[in-house]
A and B are shown apart, each in its own frame.
Chain A
Amino acid sequence: DGGITQSPKYLFRKEGQNVTLSCEQNLNHDAMYWYRQDPGQGLRLIYYSQIVNDFQKGDIAEGYSVSREKKESFPLTVTSAQKNPTAFYLCASSITTSGRYEQYFGPGTRLTVT
């Protein structure tokens, strides 16, 4: 899992509440990513950021928000507008130097909303 931490590992929330998932990296990577994993669907990109104070929507951004105020941190907020928030959430980071395109992943946060 490298130098990427996600907290907490398990998170439980009631429907209608916003919740923020933490992602911190000490790898000095420029780019950071948030993915959602559901059984049988692989990983789907929620948001990504290549530099501080800038981020782009991924394939399934609706109902989520992010910020990138520091290079090391890329928190994800799951809002009450997300219709099916229960899932395993993975944060990743990468450097952007040519040839070094692999992403490194954190251990994940399993969110359960009831």
Chain B
Amino acid sequence: AQSVAQPEDQVNVAEGNPLTVKCTYSVSGNPYLFWYVQYPNRGLQFLLKYITGDNLVKGSYGFEAEFNKSQTSFHLKKPSALVSDSALYFCAVRGVYNQGGKLNFGQGTELSVKP
């Protein structure tokens, strides 16, 4: 079985401050991990992924995420938040043994960046 937990329903940060959106996972074998962003009434946009290699992954719009195998975490980070980063963020996981390509998504974290 594979699953993802996003422990925070909402994260509030001030513009210009660093942001972190947390994600932990459970999967058999090595994980493939993903972050997506969703703006209101829109589809999900792919931000970044970890498949293998460097634990620090850089993605779109200045976001990055750090894979930590010992803590089974894949937290999303950005050094300086923008008001336009306000959106719903989803973490997703797929196990290496999952041949069907199914992703399991977390429940989402609402990020609010205030000026």
Q: Which residues of A contact B (CB under 8 A)?
A: 1, 4, 6, 31, 33, 35, 40-43, 45, 48, 50, 56, 58, 88, 90, 92, 94, 96, 99, 101-108, 110
Contact assessment for A110 and B51 in the assembled complex, using a CB-CB cutoff below 8 Å? no
* Chain A residue at minimal CB-CB distance from B46: A102
Closest CB in chain B relative to A45 CB, distance in Å: 6
Q: How large is the interface on B (under 10, 10 to 19, 20 to 34, 35 or more residues)?
A: 20 to 34
Interface of B is mostly: loop
A107 and B43 in contact, given A42-B106, A99-B51 (Cβ under 8 angstroms): yes
Q: Which of B51, B100, B103 contacts A103 (CB 8 A)?
A: B103
Contact assessment for B102 and A48 in the assembled complex, using a CB-CB cutoff below 8 Å? yes
Closest CB in chain A relative to B57 CB, distance in Å: 12
A105 and B103 in contact, given A42-B90, A42-B108, A43-B90 (Cβ under 8 angstroms): no
Contact assessment for B101 and A108 in the assembled complex, using a CB-CB cutoff below 8 Å? no
Rank and list the top 8 A-B pairs by shortest CB-CB distance, nearest first: A105-B43, A42-B107, A43-B105, A105-B44, A42-B105, A107-B43, A102-B46, A1-B43
